[in-house]
C-alpha cells in the first residue's frame, strides 16, 4: 500500500532535511527548546498512536454491543475504554467510526488537505496527503483499492468518507475468519493503520 502512494525517496529525504533545518533554527532563535521537541515526539510515540485504534477495533470485534455503540456514538463508546486522556484533543474533536460489513467497504480520505484522526491512528502516512491519492480515491475508489491489493466483489458497495474539521473518520475493518480462538493481543496484530483507513483488509492469522 505505502509503495503505491509514497513520495520518492529523495523527496522524503529532502522534506526530512528541511524539517531538521527548521527545528534547528527555531531552537537556535529560542522559539522552542529541544525539550519541547522531545515532549511532542514522546506524545505521539506514547499517546497518539495506532495502538489506540487497534484497541478500539478489537473491542468491536469481540463485543457486538460495543461494535454497535462505537458506530452510533463514537465519542461515548470510546469513553468506555482505557485510552489515553485527551482523546478529544488535537485532531480528535469529532471522531466517527464506520464499520466494514459483508457487502459494504469504507474508505477514508481528506479531499481538503490531510485531516486525520490522530488520537486513533497517529500521524497520517505520507501517501494520505498525496493529491493523486486523494483525487483518485474519491473519483475511482474501486480501481485504487484493486491497485493496492484490495479486490472487492463487484456487488460490494464502497463508501468514501471525507474527513474534515467536523468529522474525523476511521474504519472498523471486518474481522478475518478463523480468528475465533485468538487472544486480544493476537487480534491486535492483525489490525493495521491501512485497514483502519480502508485501503487494506485486516491481516490473516498465521
Binding residues for Fe(3+): 110, 113-115
Q: Which positions are annotated as active-site residues?
A: 110, 113-115
Cell numbers for 108, please give them.
Answer: 477514508
Looking at 93-186, which runs of residues are DSSP E strands? 95-99, 104-109, 157-162, 168-172
CA angle (101 as vertex; 134, 183 as ends), nearest 5: 105
Which residues are CB-neighbours of 96 under 8 A, at least 6 positions away? 74, 167, 168, 169, 170
Residue 168 β-bridge partners: 95
Amino acid at each position: 500500500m505505502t509503495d503505491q502512494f509514497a513520495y520518492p525517496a529523495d523527496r522524503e529525504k529532502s522534506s526530512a532535511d528541511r524539517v531538521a533545518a527548521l527545528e534547528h533554527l527555531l531552537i537556535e532563535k529560542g522559539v522552542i527548546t529541544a525539550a519541547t521537541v522531545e515532549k511532542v515526539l514522546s506524545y505521539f510515540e506514547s499517546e497518539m498512536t495506532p495502538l489506540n485504534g487497534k484497541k478500539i477495533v478489537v473491542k468491536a470485534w469481540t463485543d457486538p454491543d460495543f461494535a454497535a455503540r462505537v458506530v452510533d456514538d463514537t465519542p461515548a463508546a470510546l469513553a468506555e475504554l482505557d485510552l489515553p486522556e485527551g482523546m478529544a484533543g488535537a485532531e480528535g474533536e469529532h471522531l466517527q467510526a464506520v464499520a466494514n460489513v459483508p457487502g459494504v467497504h469504507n474508505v477514508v480520505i481528506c479531499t481538503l488537505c490531510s485531516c486525520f484522526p490522530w488520537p486513533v491512528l497517529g500521524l497520517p502516512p505520507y501517501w494520505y496527503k498525496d493529491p493523486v491519492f486523494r483525487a483518485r480515491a474519491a473519483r475511482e475508489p474501486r480501481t485504487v483499492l484493486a491497485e493496492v491489493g484490495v479486490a472487492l466483489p463487484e456487488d460490494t458497495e464502497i463508501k468514501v468518507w471525507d474527513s474534515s474539521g467536523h468529522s474525523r473518520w476511521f474504519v472498523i475493518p471486518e474481522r478475518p475468519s478463523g480468528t475465533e480462538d485468538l487472544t486480544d493481543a493476537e487480534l491486535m496484530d492483525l489490525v493495521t493503520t491501512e485497514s483502519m483507513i480502508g485501503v487494506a483488509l485486516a491481516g490473516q492469522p498465521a
